[in-house]
């Protein structure tokens, strides 16, 4: 497979850097072709400017390079430390600039009867995506009743809004909690777990998000039909 890792960490001696190096070696060892967009090392310009909004015909070279990598990839891994309950700003800025009109959004027929190709369809349909996230907090703090909010909820805007929206199938994330307690033994165990996930990228079942054009939503409101997940609302209602 062709695998793109979009990577955001400023420190080459960080846990994330070590996990990224491990992932590249593991994937290459399995015969995959790997490219890394190391956003800090690339000095990625994360600030969307007025001239890039929204339907500019002329995209800048840095944007076109990243779009080419996405089109090339069969699987895209987004790797980052959890910063303020989300991705680092440099990665958000990568999404904002690379997902241009006609590429990340504004794809397909937009009419009274159709809201385009999105949520399971679109430019990146047929590809897989996975988040690789490290967090300082404890796992129970991110459990369904944990004080930080469930990790599935915190990551929903990324999973559903950034990865699934342009068409990618989203695999369950690879998560490392309580990073402050990492020692050699635990790091070895984490590498082992990560290796398992990387070895099974092609076969792991994606998160079963509902397809926009799969019949579960009424048009044009784009709300779930009454007989679909009756009485349920919130993020989890958008799972089959």
What phi and psi, each to the nearest 5 degrees, are found at residue 125? -60, 140
Tokens of 149: 């909010």
Which CB, 14 or 213, lies closer to ligand FMN?
14
* DSSP element (H, E) containing 33: strand 33-38
The residue among 150, 115, 176 whose CA lies nearest residue 239 is 150
Of 88 and 166, the one with the shorter C-beta distance to ligand FMN is 88
Rounded least distance, CB 179 to ligand FMN, Å: 4
CB 150 → ligand FMN: shortest distance, Å? 13
DSSP summary character for residue 6: E
Question: Which residue's CB is nearer to ligand FMN, number 15 or number 194?
Answer: 15
Where do the H-state alpha helices sit in 53-107? 61-72, 89-98
Residues contacting 126, CB < 8 A, separation 6+: 167
Task: Report the nearest approach of ligand FMN to the CB of residue 170 (Å).
Answer: 21
**Looking at beta carbons only, is 7 or 217 nearer to ligand FMN?**
7
Nearest distance from C-beta of residue 56 to ligand FMN, angstroms: 32
Contact criterion met (CB below 8 Å) for 130 and 77: yes
Nearest residue (CB) to ligand FMN, 179 versus 204: 179
**Nearest of 78, 2, 30 to residue 200 by alpha carbon:** 30
CB of 111 to ligand FMN, least distance (A): 41
Q: CB-wise, 61 or 84, nearer to ligand FMN?
A: 84
Q: What's the min distance (Å) between Cβ of 234 and ligand FMN? A: 21
Name the site residues for ligand FMN (rule: CB under 6 A). 9, 14-16, 81-85, 134-137, 179
Q: Judged by CB, which is closer to ligand FMN: 21, or 68? A: 21
Count of other CB atoms within 10 angstroms of residue 157 = 13
Cα distance between residue 38 and residue 15, in whole Å: 15
Distances in Å between the alpha carbon of 211 and those of 10, 81, 158, 221, 236? 36, 29, 16, 15, 14
CB 159, min distance to ligand FMN, A: 17
Tokens of 239: 């799972």
């Amino acid at each position: 497979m062709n695998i793109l890792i979009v990577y955001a960490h400023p420190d080459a001696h960080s846990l994330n850097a070590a996990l990224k190096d491990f992932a590249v070696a593991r994937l290459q060892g399995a015969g995959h072709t790997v490219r890394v967009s190391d956003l800090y090392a690339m000095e990625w310009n994360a600030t969307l400017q007025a001239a890039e909004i929204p339907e500019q015909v002329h995209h800048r070279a840095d944007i076109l390079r990243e779009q080419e990598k996405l089109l090339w990839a069969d699987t895209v891994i987004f790797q980052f430390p959890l910063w303020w309950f989300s991705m680092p700003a440099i990665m958000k800025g990568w999404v904002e600039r690379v997902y241009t009109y006609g590429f990340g959004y504004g794809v397909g027929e937009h009419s009274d009867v159709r809201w385009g190709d999105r949520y399971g369809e679109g430019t990146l349909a047929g590809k897989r995506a996975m988040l690789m996230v490290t967090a300082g907090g404890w796992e129970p703090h991110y459990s369904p009743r944990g004080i930080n909010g469930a990790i599935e909820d915190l990551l929903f805007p990324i999973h559903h809004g950034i990865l699934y929206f342009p068409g990618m199938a989203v695999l369950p994330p690879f998560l490392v909690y309580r990073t402050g307690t990492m020692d050699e033994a635990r790091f070895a165990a984490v590498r082992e777990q990560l290796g398992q996930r990387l070895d099974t990228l092609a076969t792991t079942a994606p998160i079963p998000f509902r397809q926009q054009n799969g019949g579960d939503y009424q048009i044009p409101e784009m709300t779930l039909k009454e007989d679909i997940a009756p009485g349920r609302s919130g993020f989890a209602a958008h799972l089959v």
